[in-house]
Amino acid sequence: METSVVLVTGASAGIGRASADLLASRGWRVVGASRRATGGTGWEGLRMDVDDDDSVRQGVESAIGRFGRLDAVVAAAGFGVAGPVEHTTMDDARAQFETNFFGVTRVVQASLSHLRESAGRIVIIGSIGGTLGLPFQAFYSASKFALEGYAEALGYEVGPFGVEVTVVEPGNIRTEFTAQRHFVESPESNPYAAATAKAMGTMERDEQHGAPPSTVAETVARVLEADHPPRRISVGKLDERVGVVAKRLLPYRLFERAARGSLGL
């Protein structure tokens, strides 16, 4: 039996890097794609910019050229934009969606004809922030909420071909994501300044004390190797995952009061 081949985007760091390393150690042939083309233990890097149509097409073709097949895609490339909605420029908002949402759709579209042939797997790295709105990260949340609907609709379309689609929803994970977050510019007379500082300070502390990226990588591996993978699965500390269930069960005013309180708002 041939060894399965997986394309991992965002493989230069964080969840993507951890997933590429773990899958390689479990015997997968890994193509790790990123703008930096960084490689890892047991796998080679591939230069790919998920914001660029041609780069994605060439990257997928290169992966197929190396191994002659493609069995899975792990879409982990992404970043965060933070700041008040009122002060977020359309350029910042579009950049957030260009990578986090359209970057995923480019890679999936370029890969699907090959994944249909292998009855393959698609794993999309979403976020608990794609099920719970994050104040002062509205466009990040929106991009991840969009992936939830996209993945669900995609699953209906490709299921008859044996292709399985799963969204992995991490909570706070300890990666470079925190340091690389892009903060929008706000005017000096910013009415949101105190609330932004308080909320983002809390969220960044939680990220820095979050679960290691290996926790997400282990979930990705289980999903890829499961006979019947779930459509979506959350991963992270228990209190964060409980919040997803609480939102569904509690009256919205009660839930929102608790959520605001947890961020000091």
Active-site amino acid positions = 140
Do residues 90 and 143 touch, judged by C-beta distance below 8 A? no
For residue 231, what is the DSSP state? S
Can you spell out the DSSP letters for 130-182? GTS--TT-HHHHHHHHHHHHHHHHHHHHHGGGT-EEEEEEE-SB-STTTTTPE
Asked if 151 contacts 232 with a C-beta cutoff of 8 angstroms, the reply is yes
* DSSP secondary structure, 32-68, as one string: EEESS---BTTBEEEE--TT-HHHHHHHHHHHHHHHS
DSSP letter, residue 11: T
Q: How far is CA 259 from the centre of its chain?
A: 22
For the chain, how long is the longest CA-to-CA vector? 64
Residue 206 CB coordination number (10 Å)? 19
Task: Provide CB contacts within 8 A for 49, sequence distance 6+.
Answer: 35, 55, 56
Environment class of residue 9 by beta-carbon count within 10 Å: exposed (0-12), middle (13-18) or buried (19+)?
A: buried
What's the CA gap between 190 and 175, in Å, rounded? 29
Q: CB–CB of 170/181 below 8 Å?
A: no
